[in-house]
Amino acid sequence: MKALTLFLVVNIVALPFANAAKLQITSRSRNPRCRIYNNIKSCDYERYPICGTNNISYKNPCFLCIENRVLHKRIRIKHMGTCRQHPPITVMHGASVGRLFPAYGQ
């Protein structure tokens, strides 16, 4: 019984922090940890929206990191959730490597 209680308490306390860990955001700097996305060419479509300092919403930090890497930008995370002006952006690679075409929605 003690083990079950401990298990439940740990999971209830840790649950709110699970998404923040998955987003790979440092609380101090509000920068995504882009190095974990350095070797990928496209992002998954999991929805953990973030608002960039450019006031554009991204489906998840991977999309922000890809844009930073390919376009040599330094966009940071303004806040969790979508920006008020724009729907989340999906960045897809075009025919030439490194060329980005933003598509809004979904």
The predicted-structure confidence for 18-76, as pLDDT tens digits, reads as follows 444 444 554 444 888 899 998 888 899 899 999 999 999 999 999 999 999 999 999 99
More confident site: 27 or 5: 5
Q: Which two tokens stand for residue 82?
A: 């979508």
Q: Which two tokens stand for residue 7?
A: 């298990």
102: which strand partners? 91
- Cα(98)–Cα(71) distance, integer angstroms: 8
Cα-Cα-Cα-Cα dihedral sign, residues 33, 57, 79, 55: positive
In which order are the strands placed within the sheet that holds 100-104?
A: 77-80, 50-52, 57-58, 88-93, 100-104
Instruction: Indicate the domain borders of the chain.
Output: 27-100
What is the SS3 assignment for 91?
Answer: strand
Q: Which fold has domain 27-100?
A: Wheat Germ Agglutinin (Isolectin 2); domain 1 (3.30.60)
pLDDT-derived band at 102 (thresholds 50, 70, 90) equals: very low
